[in-house]
Amino acid sequence: MQPIAEQIAQELNVKIQQVSTAIALLDEGATVPFIARYRKEATQGLDDNHLRHLAQRLTYLRELDERRQVILTSIKQQNKLTDELAELINNADSKTLLEDYYLPFKPKRRTKGKIAIEAGIEPLADKLIANWQLLPEQEAQAFINSDAGFADVKSVLDGACYILAERFCEDAKLLQKLRKHIAKQGHITSRVVKGKENEKESAKFRDYFDHSERLTKVPSHRMLAMLRGRNEGILQLNLDVDPGQASQHSSSAEQLILEHLNWHLTKQAAAEFLTKVIQTTWKSKLSVSLANELITKQREQAELDAIKVFSSNLSDVLMAAPAGAKVTLGLDPGLRTGCKLAVVDATGKLLYTSTIFPHAPQNHWQKSIRTLVNVFRQFKVELVAIGNGTGSRESDKLVAEAIAQVEDNKPKRIIVSEAGASVYSASELAATEFPELDVSLRGAVSIARRLQDPLAELVKIDPKAIGVGQYQHDVSQSQLSKTLDDVIEDCVNAVGVDLNSASAQLLTRVSGLNKTMAKNIISYRDTHGRFTDRKQLKKVARLGPKAFEQAAGFLRISQGDNPIDQSGVHPETYPVVEKIISQLNIGVAELYNHSEQLKSLDISSLTCDSFGEVTVQDVIDELVKPNRDPRPEFKTAQFADGISTIADLELGMVLEGVVSNVASFGAFVDIGVHQDGLVHISSLTDKFVSDPRDLVKAGDIVKVKVTEVDASRNRISLTMRLDEAVPVKANKAKPAANKNKGKAHQKPAAKPKANKLENAAMGNAFADAFAKLKK
């Protein structure tokens, strides 16, 4: 049995010592962000991706070992454990293989084969496979036992058949061969359930009414779509081992079983009986169980792919560029119910709320403009964040007219994703934060804050409500939640957290902290005032030495007693900073003004037994850029004026948009018409692309050309290949000239279509991906 550390090291293509050290740190309670950031010396540079994979595999392999010991103990207690079997079990590298070896010894319910064995028919079964020249009907006479339910020759032979079939079904090597065979040529077939063809709910699955493709080649989105169709009672799924072969011929799986047993049946007396055994083994037993097993395996892989897409998109959204600490007005657009306004200061503190009614049926357009102008002037608003929901284009026009009436310091208007804002508004957290504020106004606050700092605000919302998932309700919810939590943890710790302004939700995501510690930090802050030194963290209730070690480096203090506390330098390495100060002969407050001197330091003179060159270099890098933020520079996109609904689109239009979501089959782009368009993977570039994320990610600003518009089905097809020819259709088109100037759009925005992909049965890549279900 290969040691766990050695196995993981081979998988990651790293040294065993690196893995062993990482495992030891994880077992001591260290978090992945802490190890990746502050234990580079010990792990010799394992990054967070390595460490996440390592942690997952460590859990799996340890569970495998635990199960292995249970199985060995069980078989040993049955006095059936041989040296050969023990070696096979000890070398099993997957849970599936382990269970295969355990299958013959696993306690079972009373099967037909077991009942036949209890009736004493097993010797007959052994005789018939040992000597094929025996006449089964003649030999069966001696085993008739009416009291046991075997009153005639037929029932006796059926019993013998079941005994042998169940025996072969427990042959681990045969099972492995069959799995490989089916995986190589098996096709999954999908058929519509009779009578469901014309039902409204079935329309989104029409591409799978008569569909077949190789199981192992099915893309994750198609696999999940077919499984959803089956779960909704619209589709029937089957595994076809021999696609195209006539049903009267013996299957290739049956031939493989014969080869495995080394049986060559011709005209022997027992040939017919033994043929029935093979057929029973496959058709009645293994074909069903292996088909279910392999489809389940494919489903699990499809789920992993979908979770990977979700986590990648979530990371992009969370790590989107912040607009920064500026006075911001959040506008949650609405038509009949009015537009909700909320002004927050540079720190996110709520200053003002109101509701205006510029649209029908009230139509208070000019009054609403006056209100906005007064708010701009009174609070010196720098940014206007407009939610991208219903009425956003109309509200954007209103804000533009209001800004035009401001003489100086005109605010900048930006469209912001409002995905999840309603979820936050109705949450217990929002009720605690704004107990006196109407639910509808809380959403405007969230919209304003997420423009200032997307990460700080979005951590308050269930990531499943942010709108960047693919089939998120069809995957393992526990695995999805764990993966998304890991993504949030990595993002928060990559950026760092201001100890004096962070919310409890943000602090909870910091390495080493939990909800209780986060609340205690807030309580300490409320009681004693702002933190001025990281050492004060040690006075926070329930925050012990281990938690301090894990969290301190990620918690920043600006304008504190120690200037180093605003950097990512961990307190444990402050002795290195003291050496640097001594070597440069400057004060600690002057460190950040000597970047060139810092870069030219002799690293070897600063190392010691506790801090090697990697750690020292990391400290220097932090001092050179103490407030470095891994997030990109804030940028905006321009939506075209006059293009506000799908009816305004024309074939061939070239528009600027923002990537709102990336799936395995392409990228969705927000072009400002309340319905994202899809750039199919084949239209991203002239070159072959296996993964759309190699070219685009959520938040990217891109130029696209409209290639197809189906207003009746809310479908927009786009291409990023701008030289691609577009078929011209006769219609009364609006001139496209002068439509490329318009409103700014925040780069990280993602439209709130959390269920869009989940309600799409993707057959032709985007046939139903445009089905829009609002939360």
Query: Concatenated DSSP letters for 540-561?
Result: STT--HHHHHHHGGGEE-TT-S
Judge whether 692 and 681 are in contact, CB under 8 Å: yes
For residues 295-300, average pLDDT: 94
CATH number for the domain spanning 27: value is 1.10.10.650
Looking at the DSSP bridge assignments, the partners of residue 187 are 214, 240
pLDDT tens for residues 228-246?
Answer: 999 999 999 999 999 877 6
Specify whether 437 is located in the same domain as 352.
yes
Specify whether 415 is located in the same domain as 502.
no
Tell me: pLDDT of 635 over 90.
Answer: no
| Cβ count within 10 A of residue 86 | 14
pLDDT tens for residues 677-728?
Answer: 999 999 999 999 989 999 999 889 999 999 999 988 789 999 999 988 876 6
CATH number for the domain spanning 345: value is 3.30.420.140
The answer to whether residue 665 sits within a structural domain is yes
For residues 432-454, average pLDDT: 95
Specify whether 514 is located in the same domain as 400.
no
Specify whether 434 is located in the same domain as 506.
no
Query: Position 250: which residue type?
Result: S
Distance (Å, whole) CA 717 – CA 559: 51
Tell me: pLDDT of 773 over 60.
Answer: no
The pLDDT assigned to 386 comes to 96
Distance (Å, whole) CA 601 – CA 264: 79
Of 512, 540, 555, the residue at which a domain comes to its end is 555
The answer to whether residue 625 sits within a structural domain is no
The pLDDT assigned to 672 comes to 86
Tell me: pLDDT of 461 over 50.
Answer: yes
Distance (Å, whole) CA 388 – CA 748: 13
Which residue do the tokens 């007959």 mark? 124
Distance (Å, whole) CA 569 – CA 576: 10
The pLDDT assigned to 350 comes to 97
Global pTM reads 0.85
Q: Which residue has the higher pLDDT, 638 or 715?
A: 715
pLDDT tens for residues 140-182?
Answer: 999 999 999 999 999 999 999 999 999 999 999 999 999 999 9
Give the angle 491-494-499 at the CA atoms, nearest 5°: 100
Specify whether 415 is located in the same domain as 518.
no
For residues 535-557, average pLDDT: 97
CA 570 to chain centre: 31
The answer to whether residue 725 sits within a structural domain is yes
The answer to whether residue 175 sits within a structural domain is no
CATH number for the domain spanning 654: value is 2.40.50.140
Q: Which residue has the higher pLDDT, 743 or 418?
A: 418
The pLDDT assigned to 589 comes to 85
Tell me: pLDDT of 358 over 80.
Answer: yes
For residues 571-592, average pLDDT: 93
What is residue 657's three-state secondary structure?
strand
Tell me: pLDDT of 52 over 70.
Answer: yes
Specify whether 435 is located in the same domain as 509.
no
The pLDDT assigned to 766 comes to 37
User: 742, 740, 774, 739: which is closest to 756 by C-alpha?
Assistant: 774
Tokens of 344: 């927050």
The pLDDT assigned to 729 comes to 55
The pLDDT assigned to 201 comes to 87
DSSP of 348-415, one letter per residue? S-EEEEEEE--STTT--HHHHHHHHHHHHHHHT--EEEEE-STTHHHHHHHHHHHHHT--SSPPEEEE
Domain that holds residue 545: 497-555
Count Cβ atoms within 10 A of the Cβ of residue 285 and give its class: 0-12 exposed, 13-18 middle, 19 or more buried: middle
The answer to whether residue 599 sits within a structural domain is no
Instruction: Specify the long-range contacts of residues 575-579, CB closer than 8 Å, at least 24 apart.
Output: 575/610, 575/611, 576/606, 576/611, 576/615, 576/616, 576/619, 577/619, 577/623, 579/606
Number of domains forming the structure of the chain: 4
Length of the chain measured in residues: 775
Tell me: pLDDT of 753 over 60.
Answer: no
The answer to whether residue 83 sits within a structural domain is yes
In whole angstroms, how far apart are CA 235 and each of 193, 197, 468, 761?
5, 10, 27, 12
What DSSP state is assigned to residue 468?
A: -
Specify whether 419 is located in the same domain as 509.
no
Q: Which residue has the higher pLDDT, 216 or 516?
A: 516
The answer to whether residue 570 sits within a structural domain is no
Specify whether 448 is located in the same domain as 502.
no
316's CB contacts (< 8 A; 6+ apart) are 468, 662, 697, 698, 699, 748
pLDDT tens for residues 486-545?
Answer: 999 999 999 999 999 999 999 999 999 999 999 999 999 999 999 999 999 999 999 999
Distance (Å, whole) CA 256 – CA 310: 41
The pLDDT assigned to 261 comes to 97
Specify whether 351 is located in the same domain as 404.
yes
Distance (Å, whole) CA 424 – CA 430: 6
Q: Which residue has the higher pLDDT, 84 or 699?
A: 84
For residues 3-26, average pLDDT: 97
Specify whether 422 is located in the same domain as 526.
no
**666-670 and 654-663 as β-strands: parallel, antiparallel, unpaired?**
antiparallel
pLDDT tens for residues 719-751?
Answer: 999 988 876 654 433 444 444 444 455 544 443
Whether cis (ω within 30° of 0) applies to the bond prior to 361 is yes
Tell me: pLDDT of 260 over 50.
Answer: yes
The answer to whether residue 525 sits within a structural domain is yes
Count Cβ atoms within 10 A of the Cβ of residue 567 and give its class: 0-12 exposed, 13-18 middle, 19 or more buried: buried
| H or E element, residue 623 | helix 613-624
Rounded to 5 degrees, φ, ψ at 506 are -70, -40
Tell me: pLDDT of 767 over 80.
Answer: no
Tokens of 314: 């979530």
